[in-house]
Amino acid sequence: MQTSVHWLENVAFEAKTQSGHSVIMDGSPEYGGENRGPRPMELLLTGLGGCASFDIVTILKKARQEITDVRCELKAERADTIPAVFTKIHLHFVITGKAVKEKQVAKAVELSAEKYCSASKMLMDGGVEISHDFEVLEAE
């Protein structure tokens, strides 16, 4: 896998991914940015949420669960020192669907956390404490 990051100006960068997509990253004005895009660490966190959510959707569909929405809300803590790495991350999944079984959701979350999510595995191996929980909502 490869990607490239190109400096635009000040502290703004454009990342181009192997799959042909681009994203602008920028800093806050207090660090010389213009707030034109997410911060790099925000993208790292959203990547984790996307990776885990991908697993959850795939697993629940294979289990023939009728899901209508999957949302992953992440909360993270960072070290007070430089580098300000993530120290703790909590993923809260909100699964909406018709007669979705909590047991199936619990299994999907566990499989993602322990077996499938590469981002989660990489961060945990780096010392980040990662936790998960979920709630199931009935679709109208």
Query: How far apart, in whole angstroms, are the C-alpha atoms of residue 27 and residue 92?
Result: 27
Residues 88 and 70 placed together within one structural domain of the fold: yes
114 and 126 together in one domain? yes
> Which tens digit of pLDDT belongs to each residue from 13-44?
999 999 999 999 999 999 999 999 999 999 99
What is the tens place of the pLDDT at every residue in 60-70?
A: 999 999 999 99
In the predicted model, what is the mean pLDDT of the chain?
A: 97
Structural domain of 56? 40-138
122 and 56 part of one domain: yes
34 and 52 inside one domain = no
Query: Do residue 31 and residue 45 come from a single domain?
Result: no
Cα gap 70→93, rounded to integer Å: 7
Report pTM: 0.93
Look at residue 82 and tell me whether its pLDDT is greater than 90: yes
Same domain, 120 and 70: yes
> What 3-state DSSP class applies to 41?
helix
Q: How many CB atoms lie within 10 A of CB 40?
A: 13
Give how many domains the chain has, as a whole number: 2
The residue-averaged pLDDT of 102-116 equals 97
